[in-house]
Amino acid sequence: MATIAPPVEPAAHALVDDRPFIRKYIFSTDHKIIGIQFLLMSLIFLLIGGSLAMMMRWQLGFPGQPMPGGSLLPETMASNRVILPEFYTSLVTMHGTFMVFFAIMPLLVGVFGNYLIPLKIGAHDMAFPRLNMASFWLAVPAGFIMVAGFFVVGGHAAAGWTAYAPLSANPEYTGVSTGQQLWCVSLIVLGLSSILGAVNYISTVINLRAPGMTWFRMPLSIWALFITAILVLLAMPILSGALIMLLFDQTLGTHFYLPAQGGQPLLWQHLFWFFGHPEVYILILPAMGMVSDIIANGSRKPIFGYHSMVIAIISIGFLGWIVWGHHMFQSGMNPTLGTTFMVSTMLISVPSAIKVFNWLGTLWGGSIKFTVPMLHACSFVAMFVIGGLSGVFMASPPLDMYIHDTYFIVAHLHYVLFGGSLFAIFGAITFWYPKMFGRMMNARLGQIHFFLTFIFYNAVFFPMHQLGLHGHMRRIYDPTRYDFLKPLAGLNRFISISAFLLFASQLLFIVNFIGSWFRGRKAERNPWDDTGLEWTTPSPPPHGNWAVVPRVYHPPYEFGSGLTTEDFLPQDRKLDTLPAPATAPAGG
């Protein structure tokens, strides 16, 4: 297999770091610094996205009542501290936009793609370090442009994060012109950033694996990030193309999506979801990969069914391209196509189920250590199961007819993106924090944060299933307008209060994250007794990661084999007696 690394640089050269401050920490080409830059940026956006959700929950739980702190908002957003409907639609739009594009996606792909790929495959850095720097420094202006939308006349984009045309295409329909245009420009710039990142990840994984790091010795996190990068590379240009047409419709008088002049509104939906469904898997595959790493480590056992896990990742990546129409069952698309998309959607639940069973198989017979990353990883599995099962309901087109555009969908997507991705992110940050910053996060604070988040998270999103089953529509400013929704006011208030508590609990994470950076216990090289290559270098690793790239001898998850005195066998440790047939997989 072509896994020979490029000629190794002379040792002394790789480790001496004489770069000036600005090239070391600001315009850095070091994948680790770029990963940390992405981490800080996306955590800020996670906080912004969460704050927007709090304002929405105030309005839904206490419709028409003055919001505490509402006097800080200008008259165009809140009148007498009461949120205005036009601002509410902007909140809905921007909460989704920030969370999907500026929080979860960069947290998974930008942060861990950057940080983990070279360290876990044994490379000095990315294949194209300057391209990597460009990727981050395009994401920053994209973020500024997106935030700027709140401060322009007419307010921010208000057509939903899905920006369905013609609502988004003609300023007449929302009263928003500049805000919607900034929204498009920002996402086009961000798309470019993601494409540059993806090219880099793909090239790095294909070309820079250390000697002995064969495809099937790659950790599942790297497999997932690799497949994700391919999805990003193929999906983002579709969104960019669709956005450019949308921007032209708004500014240049074209009419790709405007029917009065012969355009087709459904074209936007097809393009958006042809991007959007692979995007959904971009937002979950890396989480699945990292959870696999953490669960194997926490169970002190090899991952169960490594090969079927890899095949499941690849088949999700493939099937993800042919399910987009399930967002459009009720859109006026030919109903026969609905049946086709139902079949592909049902199929994609199979690889997801395989992954869940294999995680359970990994826990089975293990020796489970409940570290904070492990708590998050296990609750990822528990929550992803709920999100996956609720997805079966809307995969059935006739049932989707009832629950489409209701809170059932809101519940479903948050079980996948928050219960799934965000729990995995919390776990991954805690797991790799010592490598990133050289210090451990506080375990006690981490446990309290985990339990509070787990409880309040479920209190917020589980009852949303009930709202949806009662027909509660999404994105409505004031549910009390409807008689049939009036009995749900109490439940809405319960959800809102839980949401405020959930938000407040995140303060613990912020305190832990910042505090541990300065005061945390010093971390040794391998604090979790893990097998991955990243744990063979100092914490944090020097520029260039290793003087000489390691050589890989073993599969990624050799825990508990009994071949070493410890219960783990690092991938790069050569054993005197060859373990060959003993570690060969009995099964998958």
Partner 1 sequence: MSWISWMLPHGASTFVGDVDRIYYIILVITGVAFVIVEIGLVRFLIKYRARPGRPVRYTHGNNTAEVIWTSVVAVTVVVLGLLSAPVWKRIKGRESLPANAMVIRVHVKQFEWNFIYAGPDGKFDTPDDFTRRNQLHLPVNRPVVVELTSEDVIHSFNIPAFRIKQDAVPGMLIRAWFQPTETGVYELGCAELCGLGHYKMRAVVTVLSPEEYQRWLGQQSTTVASK
Contact (Cβ atoms closer than 8 angstroms) between residue 250 and residue 181 = yes
Q: CA-to-CA distance for 435 and 545, rounded, in angstroms?
A: 11
Within 13 Å of residue 50, how many CA atoms lie on the same side as its CB? 20
Tokens 């028409």 correspond to what residue? 64
- Cβ neighbours of residue 171 under 8 Å, at least 6 residues apart? 154, 177, 180, 250
Report, in Å, the least distance between residue 153 CB and partner 1: 16
Binding residue (CB under 8 A) for partner 1 from 67, 405, 547, 551: 405
Residue 562, classed as helix, strand or coil, is: coil
Binding residue (CB under 8 A) for partner 1 from 80, 562, 565, 577: 562
CB-wise, 132 or 308, nearer to partner 1? 308
CB-neighbour burial class of residue 248 (10 A; exposed 0-12, middle 13-18, buried 19+): middle
Which residues in the 183-242 window bind partner 1 by CB under 8 A? none
Burial of 584 (C-beta count, 10 Å sphere; 0-12/13-18/19+)? exposed
Tell me the longest C-alpha to C-alpha distance in the chain.
Answer: 77
Exactly one of 336, 576, 577, 580 binds partner 1 (CB under 8 A); that residue is: 336
Q: Choose between 41 and 52: whose C-beta lies nearer to partner 1.
A: 52
Residue from 111, 202, 287, 395 touching partner 1 (CB under 8 A): that is: 395
- 124 touches partner 1 (CB under 8 A): no
> What is the spatial distance between Cα 75 and Cα 81, in angstroms, rounded to a whole number?
9
- Select 204 or 498, whichever has its Cβ closest to partner 1: 498
**Shortest Cβ 337–partner 1 spacing (Å):** 11
Which CB atom, from 101 or from 559, has the smaller least distance to partner 1? 559
Q: Residue 522 phi/psi, 5° resolution?
A: -60, 135
Regarding 538 and contact with partner 1 (CB under 8 A), the answer is no
- Of 84-123, which residues contact partner 1 (CB under 8 A)? 85-86, 88-89, 92
CA distance 167 to 186: 19
Q: Does 267 help bind partner 1 (rule: CB under 8 A)?
A: no
CB of 456 to partner 1, least distance (A): 17
Token pair recorded at residue 274: 């042809």
Rounded Cα gap, residues 580 and 67, in angstroms:
66
Residue 578 Cβ vs partner 1, minimum distance, rounded to whole Å = 17
Read out DSSP for 470-537?
TT-BTT-S-GGGSGGGGGGHHHHHHHHHHHHHHHHHHHHHHHHHHHHHHHSPBP-S-TT---SGGGGS
In sequence order, the 6+-apart residues with CB closer than 8 A to the CB of 21 are none
Q: Minimum CB separation from partner 1 for residue 299, in Å?
A: 7
Nearer to partner 1, 95 or 124 (CB): 95
Give the residue from 392, 382, 391 showing the smallest Cα distance to 411: 391
Binding flag, residue 337, partner 1 (CB under 8 A): no
Q: Judged by CB under 8 A, does residue 260 bind partner 1?
A: yes
**Interface with partner 1 includes 529 (CB under 8 A)?**
no
Of residues 254 and 396, the one with the C-beta less far from partner 1: 396
**74 binds partner 1 per the rule CB under 8 A:** no
Tokens of 25: 């920490």
Single-letter amino acid, residue 349: S
Angstrom distance (rounded) from CA 247 to CA 242:
9
Which one of residues 8, 389, 445, 575 is an interface residue with partner 1 (CB under 8 A)? 389
Does residue 175 touch partner 1 according to CB under 8 A?
Answer: yes
Stretch that binds partner 1, among 107-115, 137-145, 236-244, 400-408 (CB under 8 A): 400-408
Q: Is 6 in the site for partner 1 (CB under 8 A)?
A: no
Q: Give, as ranges, the residues between 290 and 319 that touch partner 1 (CB under 8 A).
A: 299-302, 304-308
Nearest CA to 156 among 184, 137, 127, 179?
179
Q: Which of 350, 504, 507, 511 binds partner 1 (CB under 8 A)?
A: 350
Of residues 197, 265, 427, 550, which one binds partner 1 by CB under 8 A?
A: 265
Map residues 273-292 to x or -, x wherever contact with partner 1 holds by CB under 8 A. --------------------
Q: Per CB under 8 A, which region of 111-119, 243-251, 325-333, 497-505 contacts partner 1?
A: 325-333
Number of residues that bind partner 1 (CB under 8 A): 109
Question: Smaller CB distance to partner 1: residue 486 or 522?
Answer: 486
* Torsion sign over Cα 538, 543, 545, 548: negative
Residues 458-487 interacting with partner 1 (rule: CB under 8 A): 463, 465-466, 469-471, 473-479, 481-484, 487
Check if the beta carbon of residue 305 is closer than 8 Å to that of residue 588: yes
347 binds partner 1 (CB under 8 A): yes
Query: What is the C-alpha separation between 310 and 316, in angstroms, rounded?
Result: 10
Closest approach of Cβ 167 to partner 1, in Å? 4
Question: Which of positions 26-65 make contact with partner 1 (CB under 8 A)?
Answer: none
Question: What backbone phi and psi angles, to 5 degrees, belong to 438?
Answer: 75, 10
